A and B are shown apart, each in its own frame.
Chain A
Amino acid sequence: MLRVILHNVAARKVRMLLSALAVVLGVAFVAGSFIFTDSMGRAFDGIVTGSTAEALVTPDGYEDVINDSGVVSPETLPASVVDTLSTLPQVAAADGNVEAQGVFVISKSGELVGGNGPPAFAFNFNDTVAISGNRILNLVDGDLPQGAHELLLDVDTAEKGGYRIGDEVTLATRGDQPIIHARLTGLIRFGSEDGLVGATLAIFDTEAMQAMFFDGHDVYTSIALTAADGVSQSELRDAAATALPADLVVETGDTVVEEQASGIEEMLGFVNIFLLVFAGLSMVVGAFLIVNTFSILITQRARELALLRALGASRGQVNRAVMAEAVVMGLVGSTAGVGLGYLLAVALKTVFGLVGFDIGQADLPLSSRTILISFLLGTLLSTAAAYLPARRAARVSIVEGMAGQDALTGATSRWLRLTGFVLLVGGAAVLGMGLTLGGEILLIGAGMLAILLGVTVNAALIGRPVVRAFGVAYRRLFGEVGVLATENALRNRRRTAATASALMVGLALVSLVAVLGQSAKLSTDRAIEDSLTADLMVSSATQQAFSPTYGERIKEVEGVASVAVVRTAMATLDDAAVSVVAVDPTIFGSVVDVRLDRGSLADVRGTRVVMSSSAAATHHLSVGDEFSIEVNDRLGRYVVGGLYSGTGAVSGDVLMSLDQLAAAGGDAADTMLFVLADGSVSQQAVRAGIEDVLAGDPTVNLQDQDEYADQQRAAINQLLYLIYALLALAVVIAILGVTNTLALSAVERTREIGLLRALGLARRQLRTMIRLEAIVIAVLGAVLGLVTGVCFGIALQHVVASQGVDVLGIPWLQLAGLLAMAVVVGVLAAAVPARRASRMNVLAAIAAD
């Protein structure tokens, strides 16, 4: 029996290959995601172990450097602690670290090195040895810096910035001096061999760091301890702990690494899950393709399978034979998929490198877990997809099968149809329930899934009007060729529907995202139009705060009436992350129209703050309620003084005053400035004046309302394009599905095609016929997908309306474009099958079995 199976697979190489391609692509996506995130993890781990000493003393626990969005704890350790620690017999060396973030290197050509995302660090130089046994900072070229006018850069940053030793390096900081210059005296390599994942390092001597970031106080942000010979990490920690004041924390290097590693794992886990969601989607779409292929192959082989049965093969044997074919396909597909996944990871690495996340020399590890998961998924996918066709194959009646009757079936069984209907109605009900219950995301997701499944099962029924419409149009436009194409699409409705469904799933998600994106853009536009009265905005290009001196100096520019400063902080409320926005409540109202549902901005004083209505609802708070939030590890108690519904231009969960934030331990750096002109000089003059203040600093942008709106739209677009790119794979697999179905049905209809040719159907007409059939399938999939996707989009827009996306936007032009794309997809998918069919020898085709 095994030989029969292998012969079958070999004999149908091309067809098998096409459906194996679905497995290959799906598995490649999964394997690529794992390989890539493993590689990132390795790079981060390298950094962590390469930069952590045997024990670390911090003011209040260690902050997760990599997850931190750029907030530096203002708390420090006095220099006396270093002296105390270095006298301990267990301590070989105690090095004080001075670390600052948001010190951006500006390249020779005036561009920001690193871009927005990865952190920009400044350290003092010391020769601490990491637990890896290497020094954390290794001088590879030049000399150590001395004083505030000399620095070191890491090799990669220097190269990206175009700097050589001796050059004057420009830096942007959030300190009192936004732009500083220093001479490059040498290059360092960070403790690990791998890249810094895009982070940049600027190294000064200790005094210079203290002068720049701590007003010259002899303080440190942490102290690294190196153990004396024969002293373990825990002995080192215990010794240090007894010598230290109670408010200081000492942890072993291993603990620090562990803490950081779990943080990194969590972050990479998100990246991985994000990628795997799309991988999963591709696999689901691929499953449609495999089910279809096996169904068609089995229909074609009904005679052969019946013969096997007549010769004494049991149902089980026939069933197993078909399943075994699926296993072979799954194994072959998975192998190729892992290989392609590796290439995909290389591509991802390159793309991430281009946008600033450089994982340098880190290799791409192919772990046994990746291989196991890939093969398991690939094989499960193909066998699960082949199960139903295999069962049907075993049930083939021997007599009917031997007669080789033309299968004109395609009606969905009543039971299945009912299930589909129930899914559809039930899904809609669950979705509606989720919406009315204030956006229960689980209910909404389950409802959507059920609806999608329901549409898939009943695609033949639901899509009938679409196909009929095509029938009418085709008859008019293409005459008999159009009629034949429509009839072919209708011949096996289940097959047409399954093929179209694969496309539907992809396009439903694309149009869902498109509707949400358009709504977000329109909402942003309207929010800016309705609520923003400022003439000019200064925003950060790095998503991190910038120097507060800009705001001070812009106030002095001629023609500026006022500058409203915005600062932000991340805080935790009931263990959930909330964003805190701080403004001057006396002037903020003049630049942004804050829509208050309850209370007013004047309520922001003392311990009273205002809260966004959606955050208040989530945390079950109302006006007058007390709550506590933690900013920079410091707990603060507040009272809800009022509620606002989305400020439009500035969104946040909690709105407080600048003084309140400073008292809470927030960072004294700005994230946004709103500038109001007084009209005494022209807008251009005001702009020129502000540009002078910001000159030479690429970490800040100056924008008017239109530019600001453009930037917001561009940010939304960027996210949309990323999602589209990831969804593209599912669409590509669906296109393969259309090609496969057409190719297989052309083979199935060989005699019919021969007859048509004999009766005078020209080659061109035959090609047109197959193309038209493909267009029916593709457009059917597109229409179903677009309609469900737009409905889902509208539903989800309601859910996020309270989070600022309060305008529904349906991108008609884009949707029309998708529909047009479906036609193109149809034509492309039909290209090969149409050519092959038209080249068929007429006589051979007529004589075909």
Chain B
Amino acid sequence: MTDLLAATARRAEPARQVAARTVDLRKVYGTGDAALAALDGVSLEFVTGEFTAVMGPSGSGKSTLLHCMAALDTASSGRVYVGDTELSGLNDRKLTRLRRDKLGFVFQSYNLIPTLSARENIVLPLAIAGRRPDPAWFDEVVDAVGMRDRLEHRPHELSGGQQQRAAAARALVSKPAIVFADEPTGNLDSRAGAELLSFLRRSVDEHGQTIVMVTHDPVAAAYTDRVIFLADGKVVGDLREPTADAVLERMKHLSSAASGATGIGS
């Protein structure tokens, strides 16, 4: 059914480009009897300029999906495309280069190198590639996250919210094809979380950035264009124009459907 939905979406808006997609993606941990499928045939498309949330109970495979798509982990079978590039054909060097040049990351915590200032952290992927940031774009991003007056501070001098906003600025400053965020608000209070999500929302609306975000939080999911629900390694739902209530409702069904799984987490 999800394939059908995705296909319908594609037919409905043919002008839209696909930023990343997966085809029958499987990821199995362990072998033999102990084998456990974290992803069990996931086929998805992520359209350019869209903010997508991936949700599901613990163990549903949402983080694995993110890791496989972000070239941090390799799939057991199936294919992952970022743009037109298929990841399974790439060696470590090419994957590294892809991450550096095409992808942006925001993790739940430990996003910044403690020895570097906020400014240096923000331009790090570019610096690693030996490139200079576009100054106008850098200024715009920095102002958008409100880090202008904190640029010369080291991470330990920044609040958790500031650290995450610096990480978001870093993810955007290299103009990646797609940004992956792994529970970026997980360690933040609601106000700091809201600030970060508003910023991500604006980057999609104003600059056409593509973002895929794993989250537990229905409120966070409400900032997105589309929510994909996973359970037991399978896609079990796809909600457009989500509201927090709608997401919460869907999650409730999921947790009861997911054969007594532990629920939706915090």
Contact = CB atoms under 8 A, between A and B. Distances in A.
A843 B72 CA distance: 6
Contacts of A843: 67, 72-73
A756 B96 contact: no
B115 A481 contact: no
Given A484-B116, A752-B110, A762-B93, 18 more contacts: A406-B114, A406-B156, A408-B156, A480-B130, A483-B116, A483-B120, A487-B113, A488-B115, A756-B113, A759-B99, A759-B105, A759-B124, A760-B97, A760-B101, A762-B96, A762-B100, A764-B93, A843-B67
Interface residues of B, number: 30
A480 B114 contact: no
Contacts of A842: 72
- Interface class of chain A by DSSP: helix
A758 interface: yes
Interface string B53-85: 000000000000001001011000000000000
A406 to B, nearest CB: 5
Contacts of B199: none
A268 interface: no
A757 interface: yes
B127 A761 contact: no
B120 A760 contact: no
B97 A762 contact: yes
Interface in A737-764: 751-752, 755-764
Nearest to B64: A843
A760 B100 contact: yes
Contacts of B92: 763
A491 interface: yes
A491 B110 CA distance: 17
Given A406-B114, A491-B115, A480 B127 contact: yes
Interface of B: 67, 70, 72-73, 92-93, 96-97, 99-101, 103, 105, 107, 110-111, 113-116, 120, 124-125, 127-130, 154, 156, 170
Given A762-B96, A762-B97, A755 B113 contact: yes
Contact of B130 (A408, A479, A755, A763): A479
A270 B100 CA distance: 64
B156 A765 contact: no
A838 B109 CA distance: 22
Contacts of A479: 127-128, 130
A93 interface: no
Given A406-B114, A487-B116, A488-B115, A480 B99 contact: no
A690 interface: no
B228 to A, nearest CB: 21
A604 interface: no
B107 A846 contact: yes
Given A406-B156, A481-B128, A759 B100 contact: yes
Nearest to A478: B130
A227 interface: no
A396 interface: no
B172 to A, nearest CB: 13
Nearest to A761: B128
A759 B115 contact: no
Given A483-B120, A843-B73, A758 B115 contact: no
Contacts of A672: none
A755 B107 contact: yes
Nearest to B103: A760
A846 B120 CA distance: 20
A490 interface: yes
Contacts of A480: 124, 127-128, 130
A843 to B, nearest CB: 5
A843 B67 CA distance: 8
Given A760-B96, A760-B129, A842-B72, A487 B105 contact: no
Nearest to A752: B113
Contacts of B156: 406, 408
Nearest to A406: B114
A763 B111 CA distance: 19
Contacts of A759: 99-100, 105, 124-125, 128, 170
A484 B110 contact: no
B171 to A, nearest CB: 9
Contact of B128 (A490, A752, A765): A765
A846 B110 contact: yes
A758 B113 contact: no
A487 B125 contact: no
Contacts of A488: 115
Contact of B115 (A484, A760, A761, A762): A484
Interface in A693-752: 751-752
A206 to B, nearest CB: 85
A757 B103 CA distance: 12
Given A479-B127, A483-B127, A763-B96, A758 B72 contact: yes
A759 B127 CA distance: 11
Interface string A433-475: 0000000000000000000000000000000000000000000
Most chain B beta-carbon contacts within 10 A, residue among A757, A758, A763, A843:
A758
In order of increasing CB-CB distance, the 7 nearest A-B pairs are A760-B100, A480-B127, A487-B115, A760-B99, A762-B96, A759-B125, A480-B128
Contacts of A765: 128
A174 to B, nearest CB: 72
Nearest to A481: B128
B220 to A, nearest CB: 21
Contacts of B129: 760
A43 B93 CA distance: 64
B58 to A, nearest CB: 15
Contacts of A487: 113, 115-116
B32 to A, nearest CB: 22
A403 to B, nearest CB: 12
A488 to B, nearest CB: 6
A317 B125 CA distance: 46
B115 to A, nearest CB: 4
Contacts of A755: 107, 110-111, 113
A491 B67 CA distance: 30
Nearest to B109: A751
Nearest to B73: A843
Contacts of B100: 759-762
B150 to A, nearest CB: 17
A769 to B, nearest CB: 10
A491 B107 CA distance: 23
A712 B114 CA distance: 58
B132 to A, nearest CB: 11
28 contacts: A406-B156, A479-B127, A479-B130, A480-B127, A481-B128, A483-B116, A484-B115, A488-B115, A491-B114, A491-B115, A752-B113, A752-B114, A755-B107, A755-B111, A756-B113, A758-B72, A759-B99, A759-B170, A760-B96, A760-B99, A760-B101, A760-B103, A760-B128, A761-B100, A762-B100, A763-B93, A763-B96, A764-B93
Nearest to B127: A480
A399 to B, nearest CB: 16
Most chain A beta-carbon contacts within 10 A, residue among B97, B103, B125:
B125
A488 B114 CA distance: 10
Contacts of B128: 479-481, 756, 759-761, 765
A131 to B, nearest CB: 74
A763 B94 CA distance: 11
Nearest to B171: A759
Interface string A824-849: 00000000000000000011001000
B96 A757 contact: yes
Nearest to B112: A755
A763 B128 CA distance: 12
A490 B97 CA distance: 28
Interface in A122-163: none
Contact of A761 (B96, B105, B154): B96
Contacts of B130: 479-480
Contacts of B116: 483-484, 487
Nearest to B93: A762
B167 to A, nearest CB: 10
